[in-house]
């Protein structure tokens, strides 16, 4: 009986792997030069002067509504066509040197499906001053629980 | 070679089959009540599962570790459902259609509701997934797991919580609503709870007019 249970577990694991394989994520392929660390972004936000970035959340709306970086805007999940279209529309007309920070925070970095498509899209549009916020675990752990500037709602 | 095989067998036994004793230190707050819409419009209420051990899983279809966990949750539900385990999924997707597609693809056998910011806030903020709560028969939260969690841990905790009785004087648990049960069985007719007198492989009651998934 236990052997059958183990066999069942193995087959379910293989099924999960095949399902997951169709959703290969590439956040970890974003070059480190395109990233900004959490502490560095906090310093920029809290500095009395200096250029403030346009901060765009490119992940889940439900997560954004619960908590987001103070002053950031929700765009849409960049892993979806609708999200990418919304991103393109948001940056339309902005100078290509505009300082933009993208973030998601839905999942551990290596599993985030939104960061890389958003980064890639803006660079393809010619934006040269784009950084993606490196969130190692998730937005709750790496930003909210550390007491960094947070807002709720839309 | 025989000794090696014996050693391997003993190792597998203690590693996989022998459940570990589990304690639940710290405080155990009451699990916040919620009433959310399920994938077919049915109501998914936490209160309906009082008296059962509830594994409450916040997840999303775009979450890789979440998708990996769910087949194992299906197994857990099959293995412990009759003893009183009820797994409940709350999807943090923005749109229910990918959730319905995944539900069918993976043959999920437990209720899934569409979450919202309010429910996430009730549970301390679901600001990343997966997050799983272990809720006892008494409605108290005994454990919270952020991120992917080993299934040995889930196995052990479910086993331990099934031994903890509900509070004395608790009213009998209302059954899962017929509509919710029928929904689950229409989508996944061969799971244990659905076979009933039909036997494995026999067609379930007509579901086409019931399900609005096509």
Query: Is B63 a residue whose pLDDT tops 60?
Result: yes
| Cis status, amide bond into B6, omega within 30 of 0 | no
Answer for the pair B53, B79: CB distance below 8 angstroms, yes or no: no
pLDDT at B173: 43
Q: Does B62 touch chain A (CB under 8 A)?
A: yes
pLDDT at B23: 81
CA dist A90 to A54, A84, B115, B198, Å? 10, 10, 27, 56
User: What's the rounded Cα separation, in Å, for the pair A133 and A138?
Assistant: 11
CA dist B40 to B102, B104, B136, B168, B178, Å? 14, 13, 27, 35, 13
| CB nearest to A62's CB, from B64, B92, B102 | B92
Query: Is B66 a residue whose pLDDT tops 50?
Result: yes
User: What's the rounded Cα separation, in Å, for the pair A87 and A79?
Assistant: 11
Could you give the domains of chain A? Answer: 25-151 (3.40.250.10)
Place of tokens 């937005």: A139
| CB nearest to B120's CB, from A5, A20, A66 | A66
Q: Which residues of B74-112 are buried (b: 16+ CB within 10 A; e: fewer)?
A: bbbbbbbbeebbbbbbbbbbbebeebbebbeebbbbbbb
Q: Does A66 touch chain B (CB under 8 A)?
A: yes
Domain encompassing residue B41: 31-195
User: What's the rounded Cα separation, in Å, for the pair B180 and B111?
Assistant: 7
User: What's the rounded Cα separation, in Å, for the pair B169 and B112?
Assistant: 29
**Position with higher pLDDT, B64 vs B55:** B55
B21 part of a folded domain: no
Reported as a single tens digit per residue, the pLDDT across B130-184 is 999 999 999 999 999 998 899 999 999 999 999 988 764 444 444 444 555 555 5
Quick check: A15 and B106 CB within 8 A? yes
Quick check: A63 and B65 CB within 8 A? no
| CB nearest to A138's CB, from B79, B117, B128 | B128
Query: Is B13 a residue whose pLDDT tops 60?
Result: no
Reported as a single tens digit per residue, the pLDDT across A52-69 is 999 999 999 999 999 999
At residue A153, φ and ψ (nearest 5 deg) are 85, -170
Q: Does B74 touch chain A (CB under 8 A)?
A: yes
| CB nearest to A66's CB, from B70, B72, B121 | B121
B210 part of a folded domain: no
The pLDDT of A67-90, averaged and rounded, is: 95
Q: Provide, as residue numbers in chain B, all residues whose Cβ is less than 8 Å from the Cβ of A68.
A: none
Output the CA torsion sign for B107, B108, B111, B117: negative
Quick check: B116 and A108 CB within 8 A? no
Across the A:B interface, residue pairs with CB atoms under 8 Å apart total 107
- Name every residue whose Cβ is closer than 8 Å to that of residue B149 and which is 6 or more positions away in sequence: B69, B130, B132
pLDDT at B18: 54
Q: Does B19 touch chain A (CB under 8 A)?
A: no
Which string of DSSP letters, residue by residue, matches A6-58? HHHHHHHHHHHHHHHHTT---GGGS-GGGEEEHHHHHHHHHSSSSPPPEEEE-
B204 part of a folded domain: no
Q: What is the ipTM of this complex?
A: 0.75
CA closest to A5 among chain B residues? B75
Q: Does B94 touch chain A (CB under 8 A)?
A: yes
Q: Does A96 touch chain B (CB under 8 A)?
A: no
Quick check: A8 and B75 CB within 8 A? yes
Query: Is A16 a residue whose pLDDT tops 90?
Result: no
The pLDDT of A18-27, averaged and rounded, is: 52
What percent of chain A clears pLDDT 70, i.e. is strictly above it? 82
B116 part of a folded domain: yes
B87 part of a folded domain: yes
pLDDT at B165: 81
Reported as a single tens digit per residue, the pLDDT across B80-107 is 999 999 999 999 998 899 999 999 999 9
Q: Does A21 touch chain B (CB under 8 A)?
A: no
In chain A the first and final C-alpha atoms are separated, in Å, by 52
Q: Does B75 touch chain A (CB under 8 A)?
A: yes
Q: Provide, as residue numbers in chain A, all residues whose Cβ is less than 8 Å from the Cβ of B79.
A: 5
Quick check: B128 and A66 CB within 8 A? no
CATH of the domain at B137: 3.40.30.10
Quick check: A66 and B63 CB within 8 A? no
B104 part of a folded domain: yes
Q: Does B106 touch chain A (CB under 8 A)?
A: yes
CA closest to B16 among chain A residues? A6
Find the DSSP H helices in B28-144: 64-80, 96-106, 117-122
Q: Does B15 touch chain A (CB under 8 A)?
A: no
User: What's the rounded Cα separation, in Å, for the pair A138 and A105?
Assistant: 4
pLDDT at B22: 80
B155 part of a folded domain: yes
pLDDT at A9: 63
Answer for the pair A127, A98: CB distance below 8 angstroms, yes or no: yes
Give chain B's domain count: 1
Query: Is B197 a residue whose pLDDT tops 50?
Result: no
B128 part of a folded domain: yes
């Amino acid at each position: 009986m236990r052997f059958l249970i183990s066999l069942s577990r193995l087959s379910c694991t293989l099924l999960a792997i095949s399902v997951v394989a169709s959703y290969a994520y590439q956040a970890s392929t974003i070059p480190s030069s395109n990233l900004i660390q959490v502490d560095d972004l906090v310093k920029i936000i809290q500095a009395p002067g200096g250029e403030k970035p346009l901060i765009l959340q490119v992940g889940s709306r439900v997560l954004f509504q619960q908590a987001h970086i103070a002053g950031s805007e929700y765009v849409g999940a960049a892993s979806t066509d609708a999200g990418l279209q919304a991103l393109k529309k948001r940056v339309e007309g902005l100078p290509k040197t505009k300082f933009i920070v993208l973030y998601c925070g839905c999942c551990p970095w290596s599993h985030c499906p939104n960061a890389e498509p958003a980064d890639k899209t803006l660079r393809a549009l010619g934006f040269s001053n784009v950084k993606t916020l490196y969130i190692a675990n998730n937005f709750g752990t790496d930003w909210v629980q550390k007491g960094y500037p947070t807002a709720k709602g839309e | 070679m025989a000794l090696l095989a014996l050693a391997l067998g003993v190792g597998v036994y203690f590693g996989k089959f022998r459940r570990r004793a589990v304690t639940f230190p710290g405080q155990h707050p009451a699990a916040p009540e919620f009433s959310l819409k399920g994938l077919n419009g049915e109501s998914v209420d936490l209160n309906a599962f009082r008296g059962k051990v509830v594994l409450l899983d916040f997840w999303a279809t775009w979450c890789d570790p979440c998708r990996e966990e769910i087949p194992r949750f299906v197994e857990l539900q099959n293995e412990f459902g009759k003893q009183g385990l009820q797994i409940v999924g709350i999807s943090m997707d923005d749109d229910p259609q990918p959730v319905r597609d995944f539900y069918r693809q993976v043959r999920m056998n437990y209720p899934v509701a569409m979450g919202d910011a309010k429910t996430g806030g009730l549970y301390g903020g679901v600001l990343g997934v997966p997050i799983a709560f272990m809720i006892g028969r008494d409605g108290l939260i005994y454990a919270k797991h952020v991120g992917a969690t080993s299934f040995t841990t889930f196995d052990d905790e479910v086993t331990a919580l099934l031994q903890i009785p509900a509070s004395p004087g608790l009213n009998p648990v209302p059954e899962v609503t017929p509509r919710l049960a029928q929904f689950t069985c229409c989508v996944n007719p061969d799971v244990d709870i659905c076979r009933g007198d039909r036997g494995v492989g026999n067609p379930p009651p007509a579901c086409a007019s019931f399900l609005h998934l096509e």
